[in-house]
Structure 1
Amino acid sequence: MSRVVLFEMNSQDPERAANFYSSVFGWKIAEPNWGYHPVTTGNDDKSGINGGISKGPSDFPHGIRIQIEVDNIDEALTKSVESGAQVVRGKMEFDDFYLAYLVDPVGNGIGLIQNK
């Protein structure tokens, strides 16, 4: 079973968003890496789902997207498209993982992530 492992908040003003979530909810927000501010929402005593805040691209300028961890991103992309999803960004390679963005059949933005 694939599970939700991260969230991603897109904003045209990620610094402002980071300041808001840090001051209101106490989230720990790290310095940006690739324009992505890593976010920690829990600790050892009380866990949370971590994620990040970044500047949204023109095709997804703002909103929240979950990241679903999969064992095989190529297979998950194929099944997603066969089931009515639309690929927004195909498989991208990063140092430790692969990432792709989709819109599901009802219009929700999701990400797929496969660790290397």
Structure 2
Amino acid sequence: MGRVIGFELSSQEPEKAAKFYAKVFGWEVSEPNWDFWGVKTGKEEKLGINGGIGKGPQDYPNGTRIQLEIDSIDETISEAINNGALVVRDKMEFDDFYLAYLVDPTGIGFGLVQKKNNRW
């Protein structure tokens, strides 16, 4: 199952965007890691999701994408392609997870996240 675990705001001015959301909505913004500022959008005991703000790449300079946690990134990419999705960025490896970006058949972009060894 693909559960929404976060969001990513892409901006060409991520530091400015981070300051805006911190001031207007009270989000806690972490120090940048790989040009990505993690954000906490509220207290853990309240329903909601956290996410991050990053410098938007050429293929997605501005906008919002949800991140879906899945069990097998390779199987999910294959299934998505078989159902009309396009891969924007193939599987990338990070310390604790794998990440890929796709676009569904209607043009909506989303990210796939597979944790490594249930670490998060």
TM-score by length of 1: 0.97
Aligned to 2:92: 92
**Is 1:13 equivalent to 2:7 in the alignment?**
no
Give 1:35-114 correspondences, 5 Å limit: 35-114=35-114
User: How far did 1:42 drift?
Assistant: 1.7
SS of residue paired to 1:76? helix
**Is 1:4 equivalent to 2:4 in the alignment?**
yes
Counterpart CA distance in 2 for 1:70 and 1:45 is 24
Aligned partners of 1:100 and 1:112 also within 8 Å = yes
Q: Which moved more, 1:86-95 or 1:37-46?
A: 37-46
Describe the superposition over 1:44-82 as per-residue Cα deviations: whole angstroms up to 9, x where unpaired.
Answer: 332420110000001100000000000000000000000
Counterpart CA distance in 2 for 1:44 and 1:35 is 25
The number of residue pairs the alignment matches comes to 116
Q: Give the gaps of 5 or more residues in structure 2.
A: none
Counterpart CA distance in 2 for 1:48 and 1:73 is 24
Q: Which moved more, 1:78-87 or 1:39-48?
A: 39-48
TM-score by length of 2: 0.94
Counterpart CA distance in 1 for 2:111 and 2:44 is 26
Q: Aligned-pair RMSD on alpha carbons?
A: 0.8
Q: Give the gaps of 5 or more residues in structure 1.
A: none
